[in-house]
Structure 1
Amino acid sequence: MLAASSSLPDLEEIVRSVTPERRAIALRKLGALFVQGASRFNVQHVALFDTVLKSLLPQADGEARAALAGQLAALANAPPSVVRELVLDAEIKVAGPLLRASPVIDEATLIEVVRCCGQAHLQAVAERLIVPESVTDALLVRGEREVVRSAAANAGALFSVKGYSSLVRRAADDGVLAMAIGLREDLPTPLLQRLLSESADIVRRRLFQTASPARRAAIARTMAEAVADADAPTVRDFASAQQAVLVLQQAGALDHATLTGFVKERKYEETVVAIAAVSGLAIDAVDRVIAGGRRDSILILGRALGLEWSAVRALLSLRLGAGRSLSIADIEDARVNFERLALPTAQRVVAFWKDRGQI
């Protein structure tokens, strides 16, 4: 076997030794020998090294295994069975160098690592030069915050639409993650719009300031389109909803539970008509409250009607339309304001609205 041939008989004899110290020595010697000749070895040579090295691994200590992993990490023809065993090693000092850099590891093995190993192993996978979609999908299932942030910030990590949707959802309460996602030029426009709509103002400003000129233009365009969509008038027909609510009212079945059901089922017209019937406000007035831009008006109306916070929260989301939701920060801010709002105060405001005949 080229220059290595004369050394193999001695090494194979060491393999049969039960002395861990000699096995460690053999592992280091054979690893160095492989690195020296890797550029010249053919498939048969690699297979022989694979067999001998693998037989040495079980009783080698962690330091020897880590040294071997470091030797093999950058090699395109590293022994595949040995690489697989090393990347599944419980010690990150052994698995890490290969997980970050080895071109030998296939997608199936990476997914196996992600599904069965610890967060340090997942972090190493997230830092690879190229991370396929199937692997990032797995990372998003098990990865904790730092792993997900690393994957999102890695330009070589590829994400499926499902993966991007998961990232945007997790970014609602993670400004660092929102920044990393927003700077990615492969983020689909609808998801960029959702990300921007759910992020805090300070995150949007920092994202705009940090982005490249081309990305900044895309962000500005997306924000402008979102504003235009929000300003576009929506023509609604409340006739059928009025008939349905009237039947419920006549049957004595129009109560808070029914109203809450309309809200949580995102039945906009039925919700507006039911609130109008319960509150005594005009239908168009309730429509303006829910569809308008003032969140505090919805909080006031919900408190005056005696609705639970869960129903008010659903009412806040209802005005955003399907597929959109408030950020975690906005929800918490609204909850605090709602809990501070006194019932008599809210009732006086709603009575004032009715007296004026407009909101």
Structure 2
Amino acid sequence: MAPKLVSAFLLPPFHGSAMAPGLLSRLFGRRKLPPELRYEDARQVLESHQSAMKRELAGRADAPPEALYYLACDDDLKVRSLVAANPAAPAQANELLRTDGDAEVREELARKIARLMPDMPATERSALQQRTVALLDRLAEDELPRVRAIISYELAHCPTISRRLARRLADDVEIAVCGPMLKYSPLLSDEDLIEIIATSRVEGAVEAIAQRENLSMRVSDAVVATLDIPAVAQLLANPSAEIREETLESVIARAAGIEAWHRPLVMRTELSLRAVRRIATFVSRSLIDELANRHALDEEISLWLKLRAKAAIDRDTEGAEPQVARDTIREAYDAGRLGDEQVVEAATMSQKPSVVLALSLLSGVPSASIEAVIAAQSGGGITALCWTAGLSMRTALAIQTYIAHVPRETVVLPRDGIDYPMDEAEMRWHLQYFGIEMARRRQR
């Protein structure tokens, strides 16, 4: 906190003045400041060192600016917090409180300054307004996430802040800070959002983007491409999000083993009859009824869908994945057709035995070793296995997400959206960690 140095230029009446006769008793006999505050009243409060009176003065909108500047240096945390929250505090006091050692003071200041922005023009600002904007920029760099989060929350809908500030908050490493901007800020372009989707490692960031109003098809495509289950669920549940038919079909193709997508898929209004039929093969019977009612299907089609759904439900209750799925993998391998398409489809259907079989056939690695890598939730190990098997990095990402359920913070992501991010030496290291010796890499 700044030292208690009060400039004679700023506060000539407050420093070294004698109390007017009877003024002290008039003020402190009642223990409250009068409704109409005079300059002399404020001066006597500062000289009295009465905590309760200083707190009252610090919160008064009619307090002299010089008095509020003086109180910004007070030892009492509550006094400084009240000054920080007081709209009447001068710019000098606000700038002093920005570096206050107590988080509560900076939080109050951040809230106050941020709430000034919606009423401030984007251009032709006065010198005082420009000073306020500069102070806001510095507060947005505060080391404490709570301070930055307050600014983000207050400014999420504001169109008059700079795009630079909006993007800085949107790129923050804390979801409490970046989340409101990603969900609401009108200053983030589609290009900004797509770049953030591709690069952000903050859990919940893509979910926040998926909830934006009137999301464009381009951004929806980027959300789906992440294979982020909660984010895609939020996208499907967003009625104003525009989703291409091809993108929706790719979601449906992966949705059977992802229950979080079932209800929001059923609730989409733009489903084609083909999409309805496909969805009905894996959702619950209660959702089949809702699907039929919501999309005004005739009785014949509704009955057909219910029968298909019942067959799928009966199959699932029998226990394990159908043998036919593994047979399909082996047949594709024998015919030289086994590749990314079949493995991704098995992964997104949560068909773990089929994925393990495919990796084993393509890489020559024993199934038991592949099971060990998956059980360890090793993103690096799974990536190395897929590389050895000649599969794409996107397939590795699908297996990490749907089969191994690798924690988000340790998922190995593609470089530039498609490429493997590790070289051959790193791949071999991850395999050797699990006792796997790679004889040669299968060429695609």
Q: TM-score range by the shorter chain?
A: 0.5 to 0.7
Q: Does 1:300 align with 2:330?
A: yes
TM-score by length of 1: 0.53
Report the equivalent of 2:66.
9
Name the structure 2 match of 1:178: 232
Distance in 2 (CA, whole Å) between partners of 1:88 and 1:296 is 54
Question: How far off is 1:8 after superposition?
Answer: 1.4
Q: Tell me, in whole angstroms, the C-alpha distance in 1 between the residues paired with 2:260 and 2:331.
A: 30
Q: CA deviation at 1:20?
A: 6.5
Q: Give TM-score, length-normalised by structure 2.
A: 0.44
Cα distance change of structure 1 residues 90 and 20 upon mapping to structure 2, 3 Å threshold: farther
Q: 1:205 maps to what in 2? A: 262
Query: Which structure 1 segments of 5+ residues have no match?
Result: 35-47, 228-293, 318-324, 344-359
Question: How far did residue 113 of structure 1 move?
Answer: 2.7
Aligned to 1:70: 111
What's the offset of the Cα at 1:65? Answer: 0.8
**Sequence identity percentage:** 11
Match of 1:88 in 2: 141
Q: Which residue among 223, 240, 243 is the counterpart of 2:275?
A: 223
Instruction: Map 1:146-295 to 2 at 5 A.
Output: 146-152=204-210, 154-156=211-213, 158=215, 161=218, 163-171=219-227, 174=229, 176-184=230-238, 185-189=240-244, 190-200=246-256, 202-203=259-260, 205-209=262-266, 211=267, 215-216=268-269, 218-221=270-273, 223=275
Q: Are positions 1:54 and 2:95 aligned together?
A: yes
Greater RCO structure (CA 8 Å; 6+ sep): 1
1:121 aligns with 2:210: no
CA positional deviation for 1:335: 1.3
Code of the aligned partner of 2:330? I
How far did residue 89 of structure 1 move?
1.7
- In structure 2, C-alpha distance between the alignment counterparts of 1:6 and 1:203, rounded to whole Å: 56
Unaligned runs of 5+ in 2: 1-59, 121-131, 280-323, 365-444
Within 5 A, what are the aligned runs for 1:299-318? 299-304=329-334, 312-314=338-340, 316=342
CA distance in 2, matches of 1:115, 1:186: 22
CA contact (8 A) 1:114 1:122 kept: yes
Q: Name the counterpart of 1:257.
A: none
Q: Which residue of 1 aligns with 2:127?
A: none
Matches of 1:298 and 1:132, distance apart in 2: 46
2:235 aligned partner, one-letter code: I
Other-structure match for 2:154: 101
1:62, distance to aligned residue in structure 2 (A): 0.6
- RMSD value, Cα: 4.0
In structure 1, the residue matched to 2:356 is 336
> Is the contact made by 1:130 and 1:156 (CA closer than 8 Å) also made in structure 2?
no
Are the structure 2 counterparts of residues 331 and 26 from structure 1 closer, same or farther at C-alpha, using a change threshold of 3 Å? closer
CA distance in 1 between partners of 2:93 and 2:81 (Å): 9
Amino acid paired to 1:223: A
CA offset at residue 143 of structure 1? 4.2
Which amino acid letter does the alignment assign opposite residue 99 of structure 1? S
2:200 to 134, 139, 142: 142
Q: Which residue of 2 aligns with 1:41?
A: none
* SS in structure 2 of the partner of residue 312 of structure 1: coil
Residues 28-50 of structure 1: per-residue CA shift (max 9 Å, x gap): 3253234xxxxxxxxxxxxx944
CA change 1:127–1:96 in 2 (3 A) is farther
Evaluate the alpha carbon distance shift between residue 198 and residue 109 of structure 1 in structure 2; reply closer, same or farther with a 3 A threshold.
same
